[in-house]
Amino acid sequence: MKNQLIEKLQTKSAVIGIIGLGYVGLPLVLRYAQVGYKVIGFDIDQSKIDCLADGKSYIERITQSEILTAQDQGFEATTDFSQVSNVDALIICVPTPLDKFREPDLSYILGTMKSLVPYLRKGHVVSLESTTYPGTTQEELLPRMEQTGLKVGQDTFLVYSPEREDPGNPDFTTQTIPKVCSGHTKACLDVGMALYGQVVDLVVPVSSTQAAEMTKLLENIHRAVNIGLVNELKIIADKMGIDIHEVIKAAATKPFGFVPYYPGPGLGGHCIPIDPFYLTWKAKEFGVHTRFIELAGEINSAMPDYVVAKVMEALNRKQKSVSGSKILVLGIAYKKNIDDMRESPSVVLLQKLQDLGAQVAYSDPHIPKFPKIRNFEFELQSVMLDKDSLKSFDCILLATDHDGFDYELIVNNADLLVDTRGRYDETLLNVVKS
């Protein structure tokens, strides 16, 4: 069975099923279609299926022409999971958020497996790409697959290969980002290498699914901890009257032993604010208290409060209070030049300022209307920036530094500008760095 499946994957006669058509799944669809596979996309969100059926894209960086080209290659999207029986490979790209207790929420993974199990058959490979704690693939997916009576590693194959995406980065694509791959057995790994080897330039095998799961967490914890460090240094530097961005720029001239990380208003995105807590939760099972990781999480989670305090302080210098002030937040995506708002600290800032009585608004060239997202509701549309609109606000808060902003226009017409991204020189009379 293994050799038959590998041959189908290598000859591109296999049908690929992608489950979860979001920021990870949809680019993967396009890549498999691009190299000649027939792809079926699965999602529980009917609006996404309808959008794709019309040949349109709901992700800014993916064009309509790319969707249409994939459809010409045979791509179709559906909410009908009975079609699982018609594919050979099932790649799971669903969210893994935290619950209200900041513990892992595997409901999307488990819900997906519940939908797949009735249609699993011999010759299937199931690959999980969602970030999760070490042991998830073996503890949660394996028993569900084997309850069908199929033997994993012989009849079916189980793979873990964590997604690696960097939205807004033009230098890396699904094809060029090296991909870590693991399998429940050696046969599973062989199938996984064949599955991804056709679409990714470099596939990196590791010894176990647990090692691959830990690899993904290490990558994101590395960033979270270093961002926590530089955020703390920013607060110290601010107290000392030192520009932390100048310091980072100078330190980055060292050609070895230093990697620059940059402070901001908090962590955003689907990985860095969430993934470290998957490991801290799992570590408790082994009696380990992950103090270093949790401290970084505390620092990063506190940054929106620090920024709000800087806004209050800056307004006070103008003899104004936050309550009643008109505040414009520039950028509500979690990072610049994208339309992704997942876990964006800008949204937290909007909520905190509104709770303090401010009249809040936002401007973001990538997000024309505030969408419906978990835990936040704003009836807002992006403000068009011009001299009059900028002058109408008591405070402009730069939260996400999109390249599309006219920074000269902003600074020349803002009565007060709080900069969380180091775009401006604080010697300017109306600029406060945060």
357-396: pLDDT as tens digits: 999 999 999 999 999 887 788 999 999 999 999 999 999 9
Q: Are residues 253 and 324 in the same domain?
A: yes
pLDDT band with cut points at 50, 70 and 90 for residue 428? low
More confident residue, 268 or 227: 227
Q: What is the mean pLDDT of residues 193-201?
A: 97
CA 13/CA 119 separation, integer angstroms: 20
Q: pLDDT by residue (tens digit) across 124-138?
A: 999 999 999 999 999
pLDDT band with cut points at 50, 70 and 90 for residue 409? very high
Q: How far is CA 366 from the centre of its chain?
A: 16
Q: Which pLDDT score, from 0 to 100, does residue 52 have?
A: 96
Alpha-carbon distances of 311 from 274, 359, 419, rounded to whole Å: 27, 13, 10
Q: Are residues 63 and 180 in the same domain?
A: yes
Q: Are residues 341 and 284 in the same domain?
A: yes
Do residues 269 and 224 make contact, with C-beta atoms less than 8 angstroms apart? Answer: no
Q: What is the mean pLDDT of residues 308-327?
A: 96
Q: Which pLDDT score, from 0 to 100, does residue 377 have?
A: 82
pLDDT of 244 > 80? The answer is yes
Q: How many C-beta atoms surround the C-beta of residue 76 within 10 A?
A: 14
Do residues 118 and 147 make contact, with C-beta atoms less than 8 angstroms apart? Answer: no
Q: What percent of the chain has pLDDT over 90?
A: 91
Q: pLDDT by residue (tens digit) across 267-288?
A: 888 788 888 999 999 999 999 9
What is the set of active-site residues?
271
Q: Are residues 194 and 315 in the same domain?
A: no
Q: Does 211 map to a domain?
A: no
Q: What is the mean pLDDT of residues 97-107?
A: 90
Mean pLDDT for all residues in the chain: 95
Q: What percent of the chain has pLDDT over 70?
A: 99
HEC letters along the chain: CHHHHHHHHHCCCCEEEEECCCCCHHHHHHHHHHCCCEEEEECCCHHHHHHHHCCCCCCCCCCHHHHHHHHHCCCEEECCHHHHHHCCEEEECCCCCECCCCCECCHHHHHHHHHHHHHCCCCCEEEECCCCCCCHHHHHHHHHHHCCCCCECCCEEEEECCCCCCCCCCCCCCCCCCEEEEECCHHHHHHHHHHHHCCCCCEEECCCHHHHHHHHHHHHHHHHHHHHHHHHHHHHHHHHCCCHHHHHHHHCCCCCCCCCCCCCCCCCCCCCCCHHHHHHHHHHCCCCCCHHHHHHHHHHHHHHHHHHHHHHHHHHHCCCCCCCCEEEEECCCCCCCCCCCCCCHHHHHHHHHHHCCCEEEEECCCCCECCCECCECCCCECCCCCHHHHHCCCEEEECCCCCCCCHHHHHHHCCCEEECCCCCCCCCCCEEEC
Q: Does 294 map to a domain?
A: yes
Do residues 168 and 336 make contact, with C-beta atoms less than 8 angstroms apart? Answer: yes
Q: Are residues 158 and 264 in the same domain?
A: no
- Cα four-point dihedral sign 88, 93, 98, 100: negative
Q: Does 213 map to a domain?
A: no
Q: pLDDT by residue (tens digit) across 54-96?
A: 999 999 999 999 999 999 999 999 999 999 999 999 999 999 9
Q: Are residues 178 and 40 in the same domain?
A: yes
pLDDT of 427 > 70? The answer is no
| pTM of the complete model | 0.92
Q: Are residues 200 and 249 in the same domain?
A: no
Domain count within the chain: 2
Q: Does 217 map to a domain?
A: no
Q: Does 258 map to a domain?
A: yes
pLDDT of 429 > 80? The answer is no
Q: Are residues 244 and 334 in the same domain?
A: yes
Q: Are residues 190 and 242 in the same domain?
A: no
Q: Are residues 291 and 351 in the same domain?
A: yes
Q: Are residues 281 and 331 in the same domain?
A: yes
Token digits of residue 219: 């990558």
pLDDT of 430 > 70? The answer is no
Q: Does 56 map to a domain?
A: yes
CATH code (residue 276) = 3.40.50.720
Q: Which pLDDT score, from 0 to 100, does residue 410 have?
A: 96
pLDDT of 423 > 70? The answer is yes
Of 204, 223, 249, the domain-final residue:
204
Q: Which pLDDT score, from 0 to 100, does residue 269 have?
A: 80
Q: How many CA atoms lie within 13 Å of 426's alpha carbon, on the beta-carbon side?
A: 16
Q: What is the mean pLDDT of residues 401-417?
A: 96
Alpha-carbon distances of 411 from 308, 358, 365, rounded to whole Å: 20, 21, 17
Q: Does 54 map to a domain?
A: yes
Q: Are residues 287 and 416 in the same domain?
A: yes
Q: pLDDT by residue (tens digit) across 8-58?
A: 999 999 999 999 999 999 999 999 999 999 999 999 999 999 999 999 999
Q: Does 388 map to a domain?
A: yes
Q: Which pLDDT score, from 0 to 100, does residue 166 have?
A: 85
Q: pLDDT by residue (tens digit) across 138-155?
A: 999 999 999 999 999 999
The whole domain housing 74 covers 2-204
